[in-house]
Amino acid sequence: MDNITKKTMNFRGQMVTFDSPIVMGILNVTPDSFYDGGRYTYEQAIAHRAQEILDQGGTIIDVGAYSSRPGAEDISQDEEMRRLDKALSAIRKELPEAIISVDTFRPQVAEMVLKDFGVQMINDIMGGGEDRKMYNVIAKWNVPYVLMHIKGTPQTMQQNPHYNDVVQEIILYFAERLHQLRGLHINDVVLDPGFGFGKTLDHNYQIMAKLEVFKQLFPEPLMVGISRKSMIFRLLNISPDKALNGTTVLNTISLLKGADILRVHDVREAVEAIKIVEKMKEQDSN
């Protein structure tokens, strides 16, 4: 029997429900992200992209200043903060009430954006890291937290990743870290299996094939981030800019298997996928 997904989360006073899936729109302010690197480095372009995400039906704007593509440059903490300061200032000036997530694994960076810009969520690709210092920051500010699975670091994760059972390993990873988070009274947690982060092409599709298992075992909302990733464009022998159709196919499969949040570059198309799947489910329940 499936767990009942946690239905609401408090984003610093703004309540978000998961009665229907929602969309997190990606806003990378990096020069070298695999798909949109360099597009949003000026304040006007950043603010325009943030507004576009909301206009197209996105609920959360996910701002990232550290490229986590395989082999990306490991920028300094100061440089990450500088990029975020510029981007968040531009967004908050135009959209003071927008729900903003920041994609960072550094506790000091999370502390800065939570304190200075009222950010409402932290999206942590390192799952707290080895020292779990990020958990203390999340507990202090009491904001929703995305717990993602990764094997290695962005610099090493694709160097021959190996699992005996990739799904089972992610389940154990989530169980261990959720226990620690709950011990700190952190209850608003989103789970992300981390497609492409220390996984081969086959690993990614093994996770997708069994995605519903995470819904059966954990009540936390499930986030899927496969937008234009290599599991699509390498399989189809195309470039990331041609991978929208494949992204929509996998987003639809994810929704049918219980995804609560789609993290995407293409917000309008993800919102449309949600509407179609929800309409089908509505008829199926009648």
Tell me the catalytic residues: 229, 263
Smallest CA-to-CA distance from 83 within 35, 111, 46 is with 46
Smallest CA-to-CA distance from 28 within 3, 9, 45, 5 is with 45
Give the SS3 label for residue 1.
coil
Which two structure tokens, joined as six digits, stand for 233?
């464009």
CA dihedral 176, 179, 184, 187 (to 10 degrees): 110
The answer to whether the beta carbons of residues 256 and 208 sit under 8 Å apart is: no
Q: What is the CB-side half-sphere exposure of residue 54 using CA atoms within 13 A?
A: 14
CA 223, 26, 101, 72 torsion: positive or negative? positive
The whole-angstrom separation of Cα 179 and Cα 29 is: 33
**What DSSP string describes 185-233?**
T---EEEE--TTSS--HHHHHHHHHTTHHHHHH--S-BEE--TT-HHHH
Cβ within 8 Å of residue 84, ≥6 positions away: 29, 63, 65, 102, 104, 109, 112, 113
| Residue 241 CB-density burial (10 A; 0-12 exposed, 13-18 middle, 19+ buried) | exposed
